[in-house]
C-alpha cells in the first residue's frame, strides 16, 4: 500500500493494528513517499495487480503505466455526485441529508454529494433552510467531538477549493453562505452553499473535493434524471422520495455505480463500489472486487 504523502499516518497506524491482530509481517506492506514511489510500484514487472483510489487524471496515468507490463488494474476515481430531492420529501430531512452527504469530512470524500437538485416547489425553502443550517455548523479541530466542520488536508487544497467558489461567482452564481477561508490556525474553510448555478458552470462540472454545495431547481422527474446524468462522472448518486414507484423507475435510469435512496454515503463492504464513465474501472468491496486478483484456468483432460 502506498498512501498519499499528505496523509501517511493513518495507513501506518493501520498496519500496526494489522500486526497486533495477527497478520504475519511481510503480508501487509506500506511504502511511503510521493508520486514517484507509486510510479515505481506500478511500473515494476513483478507487480501483478494495482488498485488505485484517487483523481481521474492520476488514475489514467496509472493505467497507461500498468499496461506496459500487462499489470491488471482497477481504478476508483473522482465523482461529481448528484443528490435529487423530490417534492414529497420534507425540508428537514432534505437539509440533513444534504449536509451529511455533502459535508462529511468537509466534502473530501469521493462519493460526497456536491450537486443538489431540488424540486422547484421546495427550492426556495430548501435554499433558505440549508444556508441557515450550514452557517451554524460548529467549526474546530477533528479531535474535538463537538465540532462538525474540520480543516481541509492542506493549504494548497484549500486554495484549490476556494478557486472553485471564486470561479462560480465570476460565472454569475450566488454564494448564500460561506465561500471564504476562516481566520484561524489550520486550513479551515467556511462550508459553502452556491445557488443561481447553471449546468455548464465549472462548479457543476468538476469535483472541488471540499465543503461546497451547489443547489439547482428542477421541475420534472425526467429533467432531474437528465441533469444527474449530464456529467463526465458516475460514481455515486442519491434520490430522496417517499414514492416507491418513482424510486423503482428512477434508480435504473441514473448512470452511477451506487444509488442511495433517502440516504447518501453509507457503505457496506458486501456491496460493490465503483463508478461509471470517468469515475473508474472495476469495483471495490464485495465478491466483484476479488475477480481481478485471480487467474482463471481451464483444464481439459482427454480420457481413453
Residues tagged active-site: 76, 110
Compute, in degrees rounded to 10, the torsion defined by CA atoms 179, 228, 77, 96. Answer: 50
d(Cα 289, Cα 144) in Å, to the nearest integer?
35
98 by DSSP, 3-state: which? helix
Burial of 261 (0-12, 13-18, 19+ CB in 10 A): middle
Question: What is 24-83 written as a DSSP string?
Answer: PTTTS-----SHHHHHHHHH-TT--EEEEES-HHHHHHHHHHHHTTT-EEEEE----EEE
d(Cα 28, Cα 181) in Å, to the nearest integer?
39
Amino acid at each position: 500500500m502506498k498512501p498519499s504523502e499528505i496523509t501517511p499516518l493513518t495507513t501506518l497506524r493501520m498496519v500496526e493494528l494489522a500486526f497486533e491482530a495477527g497478520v504475519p509481517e511481510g503480508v501487509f506492506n506500506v511504502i511511503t513517499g510521493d508520486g514517484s514511489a507509486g510510479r515505481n510500484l506500478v511500473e515494476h514487472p513483478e507487480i501483478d495487480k494495482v488498485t488505485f483510489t484517487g483523481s481521474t487524471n492520476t488514475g489514467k496515468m496509472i493505467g497507461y503505466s500498468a499496461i506496459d507490463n500487462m499489470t491488471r488494474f482497477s481504478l476508483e476515481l473522482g465523482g461529481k455526485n448528484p443528490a435529487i430531492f423530490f417534492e414529497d420529501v420534507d425540508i428537514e430531512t432534505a437539509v440533513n441529508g444534504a449536509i451529511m452527504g455533502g459535508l462529511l469530512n468537509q466534502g473530501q470524500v469521493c462519493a460526497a454529494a456536491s450537486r443538489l437538485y431540488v424540486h422547484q416547489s421546495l427550492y426556495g425553502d430548501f435554499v433558505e433552510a440549508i444556508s441557515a443550517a450550514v452557517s451554524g455548523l460548529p467549526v474546530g479541530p477533528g479531535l474535538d467531538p463537538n465540532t462538525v466542520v474540520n480543516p481541509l488536508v492542506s493549504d494548497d487544497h484549500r486554495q484549490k477549493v476556494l478557486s472553485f467558489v471564486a470561479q462560480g461567482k465570476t460565472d454569475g452564481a450566488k454564494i448564500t453562505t460561506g465561500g471564504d477561508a476562516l481566520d484561524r490556525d489550520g486550513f479551515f474553510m467556511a462550508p459553502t452553499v452556491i445557488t443561481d448555478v447553471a449546468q455548464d458552470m465549472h462548479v457543476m462540472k468538476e469535483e472541488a473535493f471540499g465543503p461546497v454545495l451547489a443547489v439547482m431547481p428542477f421541475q420534472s422527474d425526467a429533467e432531474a434524471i437528465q441533469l444527474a446524468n449530464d456529467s463526465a462522472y458516475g460514481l455515486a448518486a442519491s434520490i430522496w422520495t417517499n414514492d416507491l414507484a418513482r424510486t423503482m423507475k428512477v434508480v435504473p435510469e441514473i448512470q452511477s455505480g451506487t444509488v442511495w435512496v433517502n440516504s447518501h454515503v453509507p457503505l457496506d463492504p458486501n456491496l460493490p463500489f465503483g463508478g461509471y464513465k470517468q469515475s473508474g474501472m472495476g469495483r471495490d468491496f464485495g465478491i466483484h472486487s476479488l475477480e481481478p486478483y485471480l487467474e482463471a484456468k481451464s483444464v481439459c483432460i482427454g480420457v481413453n
